[in-house]
Amino acid sequence: MKASVIVFPGSNCDRDAAVALQSVTGKPPQMVWHGESELPKSDLIVLPGGFSYGDYLRSGAMAAHSPVTRAVVTEARKGVAVLGICNGFQVLTETGLLPGTLMRNASLKFICKDVHIRPERNDTAFTRLYETERAIRIPIAHKDGNYFADDETLTRLESEGRIAFRYCEEDGAVTDAANPNGSQRGIAGLYDERGRILGMMPHPERVADAVHGGTDGRRLFESLIETSQ
Amino acid sequence: MKARVTVTLKNGVLDPQGKAIANALAALGIEGVENVRQGKFIEVELAETDPARAREALERMCKELLANPVIENYRYELEGA
């Protein structure tokens, strides 16, 4: 699998993503700087976490209009798998590839802690190796992760199977108490119509090796390899 | 010409920052504040001198970058137009 990691000024999880990808695929991903207007051939494009362009105006708003993101949108429309993590999810909503937006956390605080999320489906390229509705433990680290869309959109997303992950208790129950940031309907991650683009606030690359204290995120990358082979 | 763009949250979109400001005003002992909504104010200097074309450019700026149409409304005024 050929993976590319996009690097914006202010990205800070690009190297973590690269380490996770290298460990799973056996080779280093291509790191692509934000000024590039063309992408190397890729089976997977990762938009990493961080604070692209200092989160100026709105999180992800500037990055959504950078030259490399135009190329990412073109590739995404062709069906190349795209994974947006944290700030990458914010960029995906700002480009319009994913609906809705990520607002300031309801608590107004930056939250950095482990949470539980559950995959709603395991028939996509990203979640093949997970069990549905079974909680995994994964860290979040964000201030703008409060997913918002209007009710009509939320209901449509649910009926189309577009919810990738929801915040949940350790036993998989989706409760208000398990929702760290006020996200509508507990949404932690979202797919596009074809299930080829995934945006998620939690960080799978931070639980991809036993030394991280968990490996629940590793299966996401392994699912992608299995799918592309 | 100079344009002043105001970006505000749509009605019905929760504004925790506005709420925090309202609480802080109450803590200062300032009474009678019923609600606070926080937005953005952006000044744009345009080379364009034709108001119609300036408005066209502003529409595009607001739609494509300055506001997020999912949660925000925008309005703008042109100085001297």
Give me the catalytic one of A34, A116, A142, A203: A203
**Angle at which helices A87-95 and A67-77 cross, to 10°:** 80
The strand pairing partners of B74, in sequence order, are B7
Name the residue facing A148 among B13, B17, B66 (closest C-beta).
B13
| DSSP-derived secondary structure letter, A104 | P
Question: Which residue type is seen at A111?
Answer: I
Q: Do B65 and A65 touch (CB under 8 A)?
A: yes
pLDDT at B12 over 90: no
Whole-angstrom CA distances from A189 to A5, A7, A54, A82, A170 are: 19, 21, 23, 13, 17
DSSP secondary structure of A1-18: --EEEEE-TTB-SHHHHH
pLDDT band at residue B81 using 50, 70 and 90 as cut-offs: low
Cα A195 to Cα A109: distance, rounded to the nearest angstrom: 31
pLDDT (0 to 100) of residue A229: 58
State residue A98's pLDDT score: 98
pLDDT at B14: 86
- Which architecture, in CATH terms, is B2-78? 2-Layer Sandwich (3.30)
Cβ A212 vs Cβ A225: under 8 Å = no
- pLDDT given for residue A162 in this prediction: 98
Domains in chain A, CATH or no CATH each: 3-228 (3.40.50.880)
Q: Which residue of A has its CA nearest to B40?
A: A57
Percentage of chain B lying above the pLDDT 90 cut: 88
Between A and B, how many CB-CB pairs are < 8 A? Answer: 33
Neighbouring CB atoms inside 10 A of A185's CB total 16
Rounded-to-integer distance, Cα B19 and Cα A106, Å: 10
Greatest Cα pair distance in chain B: 48
Confirm whether A131 is a catalytic residue.
Answer: no
ipTM over 0.85? The verdict is: no
A93, A101, A106: residue with CB nearest B16: A106
- CA distance linking residue A193 with residue A98, whole number of Å: 9
Q: Which of A101, A157, A183, A187 to mutate to test the interface with B (most CBs of B within 10 A)?
A: A101
Domain limits of chain B? 2-78
CB burial string A19-32: b at 16+ within 10 A, e below: ebbeebbeeebbeb
Q: What is the CA angle A65-A162-A8, rounded to 5?
A: 25
Please tell me the distance in Å from B42's CA to the nearest CA on chain A: 10
Closest CA to A164 of A207, A196, A206: A196
Please provide the DSSP assignment of A10-42 as one string: TB-SHHHHHHHHHHHHSSPPEEEETT-SS----
d(CA A95, nearest CA chain B) in Å = 9
Long-range contacts (CB closer than 8 Å, 24 or more residues apart) made by A16-19: A16/A48, A16/A203, A16/A205, A16/A206, A17/A46, A17/A48, A17/A85, A17/A205, A19/A205, A19/A208, A19/A209
Q: Taking CB atoms and an 8 Å limit, are A106 and B66 in contact across chains?
A: no
Distance (Å) from the alpha carbon of A100 to chain B's nearest alpha carbon: 6
**Taking CB atoms and an 8 Å cutoff, what residues of chain B touch A105?**
16
Task: Tell whether pTM > 0.80.
Answer: yes
Tokens of A196: 């080829």
Contact A44, A34 (CB under 8 A): no
pLDDT along chain A (229 residues), means of 10: 96 98 96 96 97 96 96 97 98 97 95 98 96 97 97 97 98 98 98 98 97 96 83
Active site residue A112: no
Contact between residue A65 and residue A34 where contact means Cβ atoms under 8 Å apart: no
The upper half-sphere exposure of residue A119, i.e. CA atoms within 13 Å in the direction of its Cβ, equals 21
A86 is catalytic: yes
